[in-house]
Amino acid sequence: MARRMLCITISLYCLFIAHAQIFDITTYGAKPGGADISQPLNRILRSACDSSTPSTILIPKGKFILKEAYLKGPCKAPHIALTNQGSVIALPEPTSVKKNNEWIMIQYVDHLTINGNGVYDGVGAKSWALNKEHCWNSTQCNQFPNNFGLHNLKHLTVRDITSKDAKSFHFIVSDAQNATFQNLKVTAPGNSPNTDGIHIGKSRQVTIMDSSFKTGDDCVSIGDDTKGVNITRISCGPGHGISVGSLGKYNDEKPVVGVWVTNSNLSNTMNGVRIKTWAYSQPNEASNMHFENIRMDNVGNPINIDQLYCPSGGCNMNMPSRVKLNKISFKGITGTSSTPVAVNLVCSSTFPCQGVEIGNIDLKFKGGAAQFVCSNARPAFSGKQNPKINCR
Ligand SMILES: *[C@@H]1O[C@H](CO)[C@@H](O)[C@H](O)[C@H]1NC(C)=O
Ligand SMILES: *[C@@H]1O[C@H](CO)[C@@H](O)[C@H](O)[C@H]1NC(C)=O
Ligand SMILES: *[C@@H]1O[C@H](CO)[C@@H](O)[C@H](O)[C@H]1NC(C)=O
Ligand SMILES: *[C@@H]1O[C@H](CO)[C@@H](O)[C@H](O)[C@H]1NC(C)=O
């Protein structure tokens, strides 16, 4: 008998550790349509992190007001899910987030999943109004909070959520290792300043797939010290396109290595797929970047390497970029350009681009023949080229 009891006790215990513990925020004092849920949510994030079992923080259907959320690991829980099935809504004031630069900031957590088919609404309009004037030169933006700051995370999954109307960026990802973004909807008006979709920096192994980005700035941008980014089956537009860079602004930057952008669509974006490095830059390098099977619909400079990047002016344009670019391919890029220059390959005169490959491109410009610019590059060509590029 005693032995049997023990057995049952043990199997219950096993059951307990095998199943995720669920922290439903409404059982901890959060009310839909009610007051700010920051206190209960932050408390639950802490408890979920300190729990020794896999833990799910559940935000059920309903509208919840959130001023800010913050979690810093390391966590005891082997896995944490933040499952939002409702709408989480920020306060509209540009200065409403007090503690961090991000509305929802998570650091040093391994095996985090953010999911649930819900919406995170940054309610950015008041912030955009304050940024409208100077922000097209986006280095001069006021820094308002980003929707998500995800830092120093390993084995991160963000899927099946909508990020809407961020005050600044929707997602900033830094120092990540093995992160996957899947089935996301990122939306903000095309004229909302500085509302980048996902910015990745100092990270390893990041995949973005099956997602749509409508923003007022870059859909996805990739900063320095990043290795292994795979972007596939995304749509982008409105927005400023997909970029690597800008690189070479700071003197301690590290290389970007391995970027694949494939099977994606850009429409009505200011730029297409772009690699940008500052004129008069600090040294750095970027290599192994491939853009393949991309449809362009009314896109400015669909193919663009710009090593004289200087959006706000005031750079010494006689000092070429010291960022070395190597092994870059553009293949299967088709559709329409909204600017006469469909292909812009402006490489550095100090370090000409190496290993550029152009295969099967067909880009039309409504107002006449599509044009190209090419300097300091010697591409290898294959397949069809429209425009016909000639780099001498
Ligand atoms: C990456 O993270 C995912 C999700 O957490 C996990 O299933 C996968 O095993 C990880 N891959 C590697 C190579 O660690
Ligand atoms: C990118 O990810 C997709 C989807 O997981 C995969 O099919 C593809 O092989 C990956 N590409 C690279 C270059 O890793
Ligand atoms: C890109 O556009 C084509 C043609 O309209 C469509 O079949 C495909 O599903 C789109 N892909 C994405 C990732 O939106
Ligand atoms: C940025 O500012 C400079 C100088 O103030 C101006 O010449 C340039 O046109 C601006 N760029 C954009 C994209 O508005």
Give the distance (Å) from ligand 2 centre to CA of residue 232.
Answer: 7
Split at pLDDT 50, 70, 90, the class of 319 is: confident
DSSP state of 45: H
> What percent of the chain lies above the pLDDT cut of 70?
93
Which pLDDT belongs to residue 134? 64
| Domain map (residue ranges) of the chain | 1-131+142-217, 229-392
Q: Which of 166, 206, 157 is nearest to 186 (CA)?
A: 166
Q: For ligand 3, is residue 334 a contact (CB within 6 Å)?
A: no
DSSP state of 191: T
What φ, ψ does residue 382 adopt, rounded to 5°? Answer: -150, 155
Split at pLDDT 50, 70, 90, the class of 318 is: confident
Q: Is the pLDDT at 2 greater than 50, yes or no?
A: no
Tell me the two tokens of residue 341: 């220059």
Q: Is the pLDDT at 314 greater than 90, yes or no?
A: no
Residues forming beta bridges with residue 294, ordered by sequence position = 264, 333
The size of the chain, in residues, is: 392
Which pLDDT belongs to residue 1? 36
Which pLDDT belongs to residue 143? 87
Give the distance (Å) from ligand 4 centre to CA of residue 311.
Answer: 6
Q: What is the pLDDT of residues 351-392, one digit of tens each?
A: 999 999 999 999 999 999 999 999 999 999 999 999 999 987
Residues with CB under 6 A from ligand 1: 111, 155, 157, 178
Strand arrangement of the beta sheet that strand 171-174 belongs to: 69-72, 102-107, 146-151, 171-174, 198-201, 220-222, 242-247, 273-278, 303-309, 341-346, 371-375
pTM of the model: 0.93
Which pLDDT belongs to residue 125? 97
Tell me the two tokens of residue 81: 């899910």
Which pLDDT belongs to residue 98? 85
Q: Is the pLDDT at 47 greater than 80, yes or no?
A: yes
Q: For a ligand 1 pocket test, name from 178, 182, 204, 230 the mutation site with the most ligand atoms within 8 angstroms of its C-beta.
A: 178
Atom of ligand 1 nearest to the CA of 154: 2
- Superfamily, domain 1-131+142-217: Single-stranded right-handed beta-helix, Pectin lyase-like (2.160.20.10)
Reply yes or no on whether 111 is catalytic: no
Q: Are 74 and 97 in contact (CB under 8 A)?
A: no
Compute the average pLDDT of residues 214-227.
97
Which pLDDT belongs to residue 7? 40
Q: What is the pLDDT of residues 124-153, one digit of tens each?
A: 999 999 987 667 665 677 889 999 999 999
Which pLDDT belongs to residue 180? 98
What φ, ψ does residue 25 adopt, rounded to 5°? Answer: -60, -25
Question: Comparing 1-131+142-217 with 229-392, is the CATH topology the same?
Answer: yes
Atom of ligand 3 nearest to the CA of 235: 14
Ligand of minimum distance to the alpha carbon of 295: 3
194 Cβ contact list (under 8 Å, min separation 6):
128, 131, 135, 138, 141, 144, 168, 169, 216, 217
Specify the pairing of strand 162-164 against strand 119-121. parallel
Ligand 1, atom 10, lies closest to the CA of 155
> d(Cα 178, Cα 181) in Å, to the nearest integer?
10
List the CATH code of the domain at 229-392.
2.160.20.10
Compute the average pLDDT of residues 109-118.
98
- Mean pLDDT in the chain? 93
Sign of CA dihedral 310, 313, 318, 319: negative
Q: What is the pLDDT of residues 261-272, one digit of tens each?
A: 999 999 999 999
Q: For ligand 3, is residue 264 a contact (CB within 6 Å)?
A: yes
Q: Is the pLDDT at 313 greater than 90, yes or no?
A: no
Tell me the two tokens of residue 7: 């057995």
DSSP state of 139: G
Ligand of minimum distance to the alpha carbon of 180: 1
Q: Are 197 and 230 in contact (CB under 8 A)?
A: no
> d(Cα 133, Cα 136) in Å, to the nearest integer?
7
Cis ω on the peptide bond leading into residue 47 (within 30° of 0)? no
The DSSP H or E segment spanning 16 is helix 2-18
Compute the average pLDDT of residues 57-85.
98
CA–chain centroid gap for 259, Å, is 13
